[in-house]
Structure 1
Amino acid sequence: MPDQLFSDLYRDTDRLTWAPVEEVRRRGRQRTRRARVAGVLAVAVAVGVLTSGAAVLAGHRDATPPLPPATVVPSTPGADPTVSPTPSAESSPSPDAQSSRRPTGGTPSSRPPSRAIPAGATLQLADLPPGFAMSQGRIKVDWTLESAAVSCENRLPALSVGALADRFAVFDSPTAWLAERVTRHSQADAVTSMKRVRRIVADCVPARPDDSLSILAEGLGGDDGVLVGGEIKGIPSRWLFVRQGDLVAQLRLDHQATPDEARHFAKLVADRLCVGTDAC
């Protein structure tokens, strides 16, 4: 007995009308062509979308400036280097603004001037009589007025006020020696230092009956010039002080130097001090 499934299939298809083989093949070819056309159209649409998107992105890239490169900032030894972005146009001055800030001829720069005293601001060998030679280094004895003031009975103020720098010069001859100290102060402190010279001389109370300090001459040269004479522990001395601007020179002269000789040296000292100050 035939299987029931085949019996039902025979019954359902017994009266069906089948299309010719050639017709079936023609319909299959039509479906294939439609599928191909639809695929081509889909690809074309996708390409168009991508192209228009790329154009839009390219337009945005052209309108937006590129990001500035990062700048590596050098660090101190042992520290990790850091990376900081290049300053933006708002925080960085334009080339025109930068050039306008650069110092031009006749305009002082923002860098503070050097406080060092140049060698040319002291006396030179050409300023001294024949027979002198420049000595190397400082002399071993303290020849300054400050050392003499230590022998006074009373306490006196410091001679040098607010000294910022100093320079020494020492000259020797077979029969004498000459020493100079130049100190730099502020303008006001330089004036005060010269006042201290006069105060020390006026206020000193000698520790011994034969000790003495006195002003021998004033107005000798420069902005201010004073010759001080003294005898401490039986040793006579002469000290010449000359101020030019913010520089003060103290010179140890021969103990027999007269006011006229001191005036000659004071003018030489004042001219030399002009090398180290703008006050001249």
Structure 2
Amino acid sequence: MPERFFADIYRDTEHLTWAPTEQVRERGRRRTRQTRIAATLAGVVAVVVVATGAVALAGGQDGAPTPVLPATGSPTPTPTPSATSAPPPPPTTSTTPAVPPSSPSTTSGSPSKGPTSTTIPTEALLRAADLPTGYRPAGNDLDGDWSFNFAASMACQDTPNLSAKERAERGAVFQKLDVSPVIERVRRYSLDGAKATIVWARTVTECEPGNERKSLSIVDSGFAGDGSLLIRFNAEGLISYTLFVRQDDLVAEIWLGSVTNRTEVRRLAQRAADRLCAGTDAC
């Protein structure tokens, strides 16, 4: 190439100010991005035009769909649904069945006023101070033959069965020198079961005698709590008494041993009824 050409180029560019290399590179990258965006927009417009023509040919009417633009940082307006659009799907429902609100349970009989717990608190049992002078607490061991069932098995040929099922039982033993112990058994039933227990105890006294020298008889009733019975057991001349006291769904069965004074028995029955109130809301 002639030297004259290079001399002219040098003369024309001698006083030019050249941009820094990094600035030149940034301009090139910017130009490349603009070229790509332009090409993308051109492709989108072409697709929209073709889709519009297809809709117009298929539907026989002028279609004017809103063109779909590439996602940008600005919020996209909600498109207006057309008359031919499919209805929106129904809202998704939970597969968990709804739990109906709880309602008070009903029974065929009168509702029990007692607590729902089947336990028997110690406060529902007698104290040594409730008994005649000289008795002291001796634990809660209920083993042995000091019970109404044992007396009934000796006096009756066939002891009637108690159909009521107890839900809990708790006992207390009181001892005094040279006399039979006083033993209390407190049982919790359903309300109907507690009432049936008093009826059962009365029925047992009417059983067919199994031994003419042993017998059961009612000597007092209705003097304490929601129901009460004082039953005399004669075992060949040896006399003892069993006291039943009901308070709502609780029934106290007290083997009185040698406690035979009627005034003392009634006072003890009232103390037992008062104690049972610690185990029920009925009083």
Task: Using structure 2 for the length normalisation, give the TM-score.
Answer: 0.61
Deviation at 1:39, TM superposition (A): 4.4
Q: Which has the higher contact order (CA 8 A, sep 6+)?
A: 2
Contact 1:161-1:193 within 8 A present in 2 as well: yes
| AA matched with 2:123 | G
**Aligned equivalent of 2:197, options 184, 193, 199:** 193
- SS class of match (2:170): strand
Q: Which residue of 2 aligns with 1:216?
A: 219
> Identity, % of aligned pairs?
33
| AA matched with 1:197 | A
Q: Is 1:166–2:180 an aligned residue pair?
A: no
Name the CA distance, whole Å, in 2 between partners of 1:45 and 1:135: 103
Name the CA distance, whole Å, in 2 between partners of 1:254 and 1:36: 112
Deviation at 1:38, TM superposition (A): 7.8
Q: What is the total number of aligned residue pairs between the two structures?
A: 203
Instruction: Give the alignment of 1:98-117 within 5 angstroms.
Output: 113-117=116-120
Q: Deviations over 1:157-188 (max 9, x none)?
A: 22472211110110112233211001111111
Q: Which residue of 1 aligns with 2:36?
A: 43
Task: Using structure 1 for the length normalisation, give the TM-score.
Answer: 0.62
Contact 2:156-2:207 within 8 A present in 1 as well: no
Q: Which residue of 2 aligns with 1:236?
A: 239
Q: Which residue of 2 aligns with 1:75?
A: none
- SS class of match (1:275): helix
Change (3 A) 1:197 1:40: closer
Contact 1:227-1:259 within 8 A present in 2 as well: no
Name the CA distance, whole Å, in 1 between partners of 2:116 and 2:267: 31
| AA matched with 1:265 | L
Deviation at 1:91, TM superposition (A): 7.6
Name the CA distance, whole Å, in 1 between partners of 2:40 and 2:236: 112
| AA matched with 1:189 | G
Contact 1:117-1:184 within 8 A present in 2 as well: yes
Q: Which residue of 1 aligns with 2:152?
A: 149
Deviation at 1:230, TM superposition (A): 1.1
Change (3 A) 1:279 1:123: same
Change (3 A) 1:199 1:257: same
Q: Which residue of 2 aligns with 1:128?
A: 131
| AA matched with 2:183 | A
Name the CA distance, whole Å, in 1 between partners of 2:268 and 2:33: 109
Stretches of 4+ aligned residues off by more than 3 angstroms: 35-41, 44-49, 88-92
- SS class of match (1:216): strand
**Aligned equivalent of 2:71, options 16, 29, 53:** 53
Contact 1:146-1:159 within 8 A present in 2 as well: no
Deviation at 1:233, TM superposition (A): 5.0
Change (3 A) 1:55 1:231: same
Instruction: Give the alignment of 1:86-101 within 5 angstroms.
Output: none
Contact 2:186-2:253 within 8 A present in 1 as well: yes
Q: Report the aligned-residue RMSD.
A: 3.7
Contact 1:184-1:248 within 8 A present in 2 as well: yes
Deviation at 1:206, TM superposition (A): 3.2
Q: Which residue of 1 aligns with 2:229?
A: 226
**Aligned equivalent of 1:183, options 187, 201, 204:** 187
Change (3 A) 1:159 1:195: same
Unaligned runs of 5+ in 1: 1-21, 23-34, 61-87, 93-99, 102-111
- SS class of match (2:126): coil
